[in-house]
């Protein structure tokens, strides 16, 4: 990947650590935990069929807690799809809920770079789960490191810039008024407050 992609992964030199779990469900929970504790994108991989299905519990945990996780899963060969071959599951439909912001199946080696880039950008930008499906015959083909710039191709820009969303001043004043006028205040803290731990302590004090 380019420097922007590696910067998004939060690695100084682009190095990623591969950890092999004993079960696919644990892979998804580990990716989710990585995202929760580091703020980086968590990535998990699984084979087709049952392997991909086993990722779902961990991916839903990531989705519900609004952390960025990318799932990369296998699929049967493109020539076998639609024939109910061994372990064939309609993975695009299966992942459409948990990875609804971005789930795509690659059909050409030239797509891979763009799909990975988009999956990571969307996972980071929307703090959600994304998924890429790669048929097994495609996995053995030669990588296309730099797809041709031609009609009908799509290319991502360099780098990633995160956004910071803040409430408008009137909404902030209303919240302060509620807190200041209360006598016995309980604070329910959700995932939207991630990164504002000190501010929350100050408010509680």
pLDDT tens profile 138-188? 788 888 888 778 787 777 777 777 777 788 999 989 988 988 898 888 888
Look up residue 55 and give its DSSP letter.
T
Over 80: is that where the pLDDT of 3 sits? Answer: no
Measure CA 87 to chain center. 24
Q: Where in the chain is the domain with CATH 3.40.50.970?
A: 3-139
CA atoms of 181 and 106, how far apart (whole Å): 56
Mean pLDDT score, 46-50 = 89
Q: What is the mean pLDDT of the chain?
A: 84
State whether residue 80 is helix, strand or coil: coil
Check if the beta carbon of residue 8 is closer than 8 Å to that of residue 160: yes
State whether residue 75 is helix, strand or coil: strand
45: β partners? 72
> What confidence category does residue 29 fall into, taking pLDDT thresholds of 50, 70 and 90?
very high
Element (H, E) at 105: strand 103-105
CA atoms of 60 and 62, how far apart (whole Å): 5
State whether residue 78 is helix, strand or coil: coil
CA atoms of 183 and 8, how far apart (whole Å): 44
Element (H, E) at 134: strand 129-135
Check if the beta carbon of residue 75 is closer than 8 Å to that of residue 135: yes
Domain 3-139: CATH architecture, name and number where available? 3-Layer(aba) Sandwich (3.40)
Strands 103-105 and 129-135, sheet pairing: parallel
CA atoms of 72 and 44, how far apart (whole Å): 6
Strands 69-75 and 129-135, sheet pairing: parallel
65-86: pLDDT as tens digits: 999 999 999 887 666 666 676 7
Q: Tokens representing 43?
A: 């990535």
State whether residue 205 is helix, strand or coil: coil
CA atoms of 17 and 23, how far apart (whole Å): 18
Instruction: Give the number of residues written for the chain.
Output: 205
For the entire predicted model, the pTM comes to: 0.77
């Amino acid at each position: 990947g380019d420097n922007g992609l590696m910067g998004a992964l939060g690695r100084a030199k682009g190095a990623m650590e591969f950890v092999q779990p004993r079960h696919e469900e644990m892979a998804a929970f580990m990716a989710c935990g990585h995202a929760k504790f580091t703020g980086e994108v968590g990535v998990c991989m699984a084979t087709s069929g049952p392997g991909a299905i086993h990722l779902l519990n961990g991916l839903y945990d990531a989705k519900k807690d609004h952390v960025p996780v990318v799932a990369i899963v296998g699929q049967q060969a493109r020539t076998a799809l639609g024939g109910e071959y061994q372990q064939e599951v309609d993975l695009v439909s299966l992942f459409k809920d948990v990875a609804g912001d971005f789930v795509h199946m690659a059909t050409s080696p030239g797509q891979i770079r763009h799909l990975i880039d988009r999956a990571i950008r969307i996972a980071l930008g929307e703090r959600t789960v994304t998924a890429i499906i790669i048929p097994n015959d495609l996995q053995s083909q030669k990588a296309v490191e730099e797809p041709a710039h031609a009609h009908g191709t799509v290319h991502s820009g360099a780098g990633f810039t995160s956004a910071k969303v803040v409430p408008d001043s009137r909404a902030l004043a209303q919240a302060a008024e509620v807190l200041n006028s209360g006598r016995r205040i309980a604070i329910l803290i959700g995932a939207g407050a991630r990164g504002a731990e000190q501010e929350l302590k100050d408010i509680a004090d």
